[in-house]
């Protein structure tokens, strides 16, 4: 039980760290730059 | 929660994630700030209505681009959704899960998949997850760009939500249709037909996002709990579970999409929602271990 709780808080902390690192290096901008154009391959035209 | 209420939440979530209605008429897609954020479920960002980015599409696009080897932000968001609610996302928030739920309502013979085959097929979603993460890193073109393997060759959500509406609305895209489009439509048709015959085949056997959220089910804040003191072993929960979860043995299984059907049918209300963070849940789970 204790192990599960530690894992839960560990993953929570890891997720927040990853999000923060991603924001600092400008990854949301990368995501938006891809997602604001039609992905031709995704829709089957590529 | 009753099934109708869940379907209402699913419909609301699908509409909220695809609220840019103008796109369906103009054949364009939303280009606003919402696309900086990933939605929790599988929802193609090339869908004309999509207000956010698909996590699987984003992870492949970022890893496949030539500036990054790993997508910290998208992986962090997926882990955050997963550790908070696990596969509640699949049961309540994923538009493609909702579509499969509706298709399963169509009356038809529902063949039983042999248990052995079912167990083997369920591993396939983890192969898909590995492919989503590693293939765009490993297989690149001359410019160093990775192919979004899952989105390009497989994702039926992309074809249904993005490909077909855009091809209908845009004459230029209609002229560009080729073999890949027909392949993707064939995959979509296969998924639609199998969703009528089998409950959520894509979620059970193919969804990389479901695989990742499933791994986090056991350690998410949201937990289901079976009170062994109350349970009368009638088996109603396991008979009603369409995902094939052995409810009394492992209610927080990788396969549980948290639809709550088991709770609805339990005649003695032995199944409850708890949080792994609460002390009460800790003692409940401890009690359950002792009594079993």
ipTM of the complex: 0.95
Which residues of chain B have a CB within 8 Å of the CB of A19?
72-73, 76-77, 80
Give the position of tokens 């550790």: B83
In a 13 Å sphere around the CA of B143, the CA atoms on its Cβ side amount to 7
Rounded to 5 degrees, what are φ and ψ at B202?
A: -65, -45
Average model confidence (pLDDT) across chain B: 91
- Residue A19 and residue B76: Cβ atoms within 8 Å? yes
Interface mutation vs chain B, best among A8, A14, A43, most B CBs within 10 Å = A43
Residues 6+ apart with CB under 8 A from B183: A44, B153
pLDDT at B283 over 90: no
Taking Cα atoms as reference points, which of B49, B51, B46 lies closest to residue B23?
A: B49
Closest-CA residue in chain A for B170? A38
Q: Are B239 and B228 in contact (CB under 8 A)?
A: no
Average pLDDT value for residue range B230-251 = 95
pLDDT at B157 over 90: yes
pLDDT score for B171: 87
Average pLDDT value for residue range B148-160 = 92
pLDDT score for B145: 82
pLDDT at A17 over 90: yes
- Residue B72 and residue A46: Cβ atoms within 8 Å? no
Average pLDDT value for residue range B181-199 = 96
Measured from the Cβ of residue B106, the count of other Cβ atoms closer than 10 Å reads: 10
Average pLDDT value for residue range B29-48 = 94
Whether chain A has a CB inside 8 Å of the CB on B33: the answer is yes
What percent of chain B clears pLDDT 70, i.e. is strictly above it? Answer: 95
Distances from the Cα of A11 to the Cα of A8, B84, B129, B254, angstroms: 5, 10, 18, 16
Average pLDDT value for residue range B86-109 = 96
Whether chain A has a CB inside 8 Å of the CB on B7: the answer is no
- Residue A18 and residue B83: Cβ atoms within 8 Å? no
pLDDT at B166 over 70: yes
- Cβ contacts from A onto B, under 8 A: 165
- Residue A45 confidence class, pLDDT cut points 50, 70, 90: confident
């Amino acid at each position: 039980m204790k192990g599960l709780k530690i894992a839960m808080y560990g993953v929570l902390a890891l997720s927040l760290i990853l999000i923060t690192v991603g924001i600092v290096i400008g990854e949301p901008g990368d995501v938006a730059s891809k997602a604001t154009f039609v992905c031709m391959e995704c829709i089957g035209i590529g | 929660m009753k099934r109708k209420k869940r379907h209402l939440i699913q419909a609301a979530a699908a509409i909220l994630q695809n609220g840019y209605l103008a796109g369906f008429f103009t054949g364009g897609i939303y280009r606003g700030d919402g696309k900086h954020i990933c939605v929790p479920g599988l929802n193609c960002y090339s869908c004309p209505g999509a207000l956010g980015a698909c996590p699987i599409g984003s992870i492949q696009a970022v890893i496949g681009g030539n500036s990054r080897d790993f997508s910290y932000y998208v992986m962090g968001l997926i882990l955050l959704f997963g550790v908070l609610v696990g596969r509640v996302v699949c049961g309540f928030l994923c538009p493609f899960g909702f579509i499969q739920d509706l298709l399963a309502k169509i009356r038809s013979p529902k063949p039983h998949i042999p248990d052995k085959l079912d167990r083997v097929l369920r591993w396939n979603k983890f192969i898909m997850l590995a492919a989503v993460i590693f293939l765009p890193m490993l297989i690149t073109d001359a410019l160093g760009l990775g192919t979004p393997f899952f989105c390009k060759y497989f994702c039926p959500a992309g074809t249904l939500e993005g490909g077909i509406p855009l091809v209908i609305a845009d004459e230029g895209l209609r002229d560009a249709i080729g073999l890949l489009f027909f392949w993707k439509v064939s995959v979509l048709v296969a998924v639609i037909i199998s969703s009528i015959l089998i409950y959520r085949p894509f979620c059970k056997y193919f969804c990389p996002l479901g695989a990742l959220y499933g791994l986090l089910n056991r350690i998410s804040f949201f937990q289901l709990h079976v009170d062994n003191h109350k349970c009368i072993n009638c088996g109603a929960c396991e008979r009603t579970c369409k995902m094939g979860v052995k409810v009394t043995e492992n209610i927080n299984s990788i396969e549980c999409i948290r639809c709550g059907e088991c709770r609805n049918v339990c005649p003695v209300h032995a199944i409850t929602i708890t949080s792994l963070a609460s002390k009460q849940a800790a003692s409940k789970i401890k009690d359950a271990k002792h009594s079993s």
